[in-house]
């Protein structure tokens, strides 16, 4: 089912909201950097970095389910094949 609105219409409608959300992320990252201590080794930092990279890649997203699905998977624990056998349930 296609979008009813065209790409230019959607960009015009959503531009300010996208800008605001990017600013919120930027300010959050600045806030963390201003705080005492380091989060460089925190795995959540790597997840955030991977999430931002997924947003900025500019092709192939539709084939892989879209940017939103890619970001969801970055923040997800992996599934383990054969888990029922392992637990005997």
**Interface with other proteins by CB under 8 A: which residues?**
1-5, 65-66, 68-69, 72-73, 75-80, 83-84, 87, 89
Start-to-end C-alpha separation, the chain: 40
Q: Which of residues 56 and 76 has its CB atom nearest to other proteins in the complex?
A: 76
Contact 70, 60 (CB under 8 A): no
Q: Which of residues 23 and 73 has its CB atom nearest to other proteins in the complex?
A: 73
Nearest to 71 by CA among 21, 15, 1, 11: 21
Q: What would the two tokens of residue 70 be?
A: 């890619």
Q: Which of residues 37 and 60 has its CB atom nearest to other proteins in the complex?
A: 60
CB of 39 to other proteins, least distance (A): 17
């Amino acid at each position: 089912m296609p979008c009813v609105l065209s790409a230019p219409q959607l960009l015009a409608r959503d531009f300010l909201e996208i800008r605001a959300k990017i600013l919120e992320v930027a300010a959050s990252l600045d806030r963390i950097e201003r705080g005492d201590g380091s989060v460089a080794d925190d795995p959540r930092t790597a997840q955030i970095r991977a999430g931002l990279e997924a947003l900025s890649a500019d092709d192939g997203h539709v084939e892989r389910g879209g940017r939103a699905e890619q970001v969801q998977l970055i923040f997800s624990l992996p599934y383990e094949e054969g888990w029922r056998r392992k637990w005997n349930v």
